[in-house]
Chains A and B, each alone.
Chain A
Amino acid sequence: MNLLANNLGFRMLNEIIRNTEEDITIDGCFGERFIGSGASSKIITVNGTPGNALGAYLDGATIIVNGNAQDAVGDTMNDGKIIIHGSAGDVLGYAMRGGKIYVKHDAGYRTGIHMKEYEDKKPIITVGGTVGSFLGEYLAGGIIIVLGLNTDACPVGNFTGTGMHGGKILIRSQEEPKYLPKQVCVNRADEEDLRSVKEYLEEFAALFGYGMDEIMSKSFYRLTPNARNPYKRLYTYN
């Protein structure tokens, strides 16, 4: 089904999306919000600039964006896949608890904050370029991968992993990420780390036309919570 977003407005557009089992292609998209929110099946292809909260609470559907996305993509997403052939705005994958997000270029501030995992539910965010500050703030589970394919510098901003107490952040970079909070452990990623994300890197490479050789041409750093300096009795003793 083909839909013209700017003629319908976001309410009507989303109502049509909710009430069909067909795959959908949306053209003429200029900031229409909540596209595909809660969707559990079908493939939604968006040509243009989808509005905030694209794929919020996504529950199994696949969303493909040919363009840039705005803020709050995949908010509290539970399952499914969001593929952005461009950049994403701030707060990508906020409180995400399952599914996968792939961004070809950059993502904004607060990427993957408050992500969590439980048993087979494990959210994965892979960003090809750089991200803003507060990457993985309060991270409780899941994996965030930042590749920095468009930069020679370390591709993350300030306050990375602040308050992180679970999950894992992998950063592809020549140099070790600096100025991390002391509750975060930084190490060179080992074989096991890279094996655990191989399928996501391969999917990223296939989606956006990169070679695995290029992706693996730099070292990766692994950020995990510092188990010896946990957030425990923080207000009583620190």
Chain B
Amino acid sequence: MREGMFRNVSGCAISGIISKSGKRFSGQTIVDSVAVMHERSNGLGGGFSAYGIYPEYKDYYAFHIFYDHKTAKRDCEEFLEEHFEIINLSKIPTRKVPQITDEPLIWRYFLTPLPTKLADSQLDEREYTVRCVIRINTTVSGAHVFSSGKNMGVFKAMGYPEDVGRFYRLEEYEGYCFTAHGRYPTNTPGWWGGAHPFALLDYSTVHNGEISSYDANRRTIEMYGYKCTLQTDTEVITYIIDYLHRKKGLTLKEICSVIAAPFWSDIERKPQEDREELEYLRNAFSPLLITGPFSIIVGFEGGLMALNDRLKLRSMVVAEKGDTVYVASEEAAIRVIENNPDKIWHPKGGEGVIITLEKGNP
């Protein structure tokens, strides 16, 4: 069963933790956090993104790939060998968990673009890599690249997030930032590739909600070379963020003003300079406005961003303790791992919370 084969009517759980000093900690913490929100998921998808976990390979793209069968692996590896130097490859270590069944073949590759191929393509390295990911996901039958950033990785599966964490032995990884998702699919049946996070390069998105602008957003983003293969709204959010941040060079704050733009009535009341900027952003990128309920956590190299739709139709709580920042759908998911935060607050709709490492990149 794949996304789009039937329509399934219904919340989700999201959680994120980042150490601003870049201190690495075990993935067990994020598992403990998201597990508290068990009732927000229905077992049809769970996943994590983890940043700073591959320091020994930090200069190489880490591809995590699902294969339906060996032929897919053979075809995909043929493509990878034509386009990249494969520094290392291995099965991603998993453990048998009764709740997680029917797993595909799950492989990890550390890659660097072949210099001649890269030069021939006249693309920069990141764009080259993105195009390769899209090529595999749209043309290699049975192969799905679900993680493609440097020094980060996505781990996702069919199941409840706490079981997915155990399945992938997440407690054995150490990173400076983690995000998590428990899925309650609303429109599609749910399969391994359709679980969150959705990631492209180092951008990953976890999302609670259902965007009503999906098709307008999809049509727009596909004009810029992206291919939405999964029919889920979170995929399109990931591509919008990649497009606006990497390709158009917008700041994350500006991106918030595009995808969760203030109402025109709010913009009218702003001081002239702010008003002009907000009007520009709304006009220039109007088809990338995301409407409908959402709360998202976007991970990227060196930081994390949390954002609610402008009407705040989904819940989100943020807390700080020392140099660690916590974000979750529910306060309990923070309290269970940090019961005495220095500060706890509910960001307003459309008000992005952007946390970056104090020293820039790790």
A→B interface (CB under 8 Å): 10, 29-31, 33, 48-49, 51-52, 68, 70-71, 89-90, 106, 108-109, 132-134, 157-158, 179
B349: chain A residues within 8 A (beta carbon) = 109, 133
* Contact residues of A: prevailing secondary structure: loop
A109 near B332: Cβ-Cβ < 8 Å: no
Taking A68-B331, A70-B331, A89-B331 as contacts, is the C-beta distance between A30 and B36 under 8 angstroms? yes
Q: Any chain A CB within 8 A of the CB of B312?
A: yes
Q: Any chain A CB within 8 A of the CB of B102?
A: no
Least CB distance, B355 to chain A, in whole angstroms: 22
B346 near A51: Cβ-Cβ < 8 Å: no
CB<8 Å pairs between A and B, sample of 23: A29-B332, A30-B36, A31-B36, A48-B332, A48-B335, A49-B335, A51-B332, A68-B331, A68-B344, A70-B315, A71-B330, A89-B317, A89-B346, A108-B315, A109-B312, A132-B312, A132-B346, A133-B312, A133-B348, A133-B349, A157-B348, A158-B266, A179-B265
A132-B313 Cα distance, complex, nearest whole Å: 12
Q: Any chain A CB within 8 A of the CB of B211?
A: no
B143: chain A residues within 8 A (beta carbon) = none
Least CB distance, A192 to chain B, in whole angstroms: 34
A106-B345 Cα distance, complex, nearest whole Å: 10
Q: A49-B332, A132-B348, A133-B312 are in contact. List 7 more A-B contacts (CB 8 A).
A: A33-B39, A51-B330, A70-B315, A89-B331, A132-B312, A132-B346, A158-B266
Q: Any chain A CB within 8 A of the CB of B261?
A: no
A133-B348 Cα distance, complex, nearest whole Å: 9
A43-B129 Cα distance, complex, nearest whole Å: 61
A89 near B335: Cβ-Cβ < 8 Å: no
Q: Any chain A CB within 8 A of the CB of B357?
A: no
A24-B236 Cα distance, complex, nearest whole Å: 48
Q: Any chain A CB within 8 A of the CB of B89?
A: no
Interface residues on B, range: 20 to 34
B→A interface (CB under 8 Å): 36-37, 39, 265-266, 269, 311-312, 315, 317, 330-333, 335-336, 344, 346, 348-349
Least CB distance, B97 to chain A, in whole angstroms: 20
B317: chain A residues within 8 A (beta carbon) = 89
B37: chain A residues within 8 A (beta carbon) = 31
A90-B293 Cα distance, complex, nearest whole Å: 14
A52: chain B residues within 8 A (beta carbon) = 330
B348 near A31: Cβ-Cβ < 8 Å: no
In chain A, what residue has the closest Cβ to B39?
A33
B330 near A31: Cβ-Cβ < 8 Å: yes
In chain B, what residue has the closest Cβ to A178?
B269
A158-B311 Cα distance, complex, nearest whole Å: 10
A171-B315 Cα distance, complex, nearest whole Å: 25
In chain B, what residue has the closest Cβ to A49?
B332
Which of A30, A106, A132 has a CB less than 8 Å from the CB of B335?
A30
A10-B336 Cα distance, complex, nearest whole Å: 15
A70: chain B residues within 8 A (beta carbon) = 315, 330-332
B39 near A10: Cβ-Cβ < 8 Å: yes
A30-B39 Cα distance, complex, nearest whole Å: 12
B39: chain A residues within 8 A (beta carbon) = 10, 33, 51
List the 6 shortest-distance A-B pairs measured between CB atoms, nearest first.
A31-B332, A30-B332, A49-B332, A109-B312, A30-B336, A49-B335
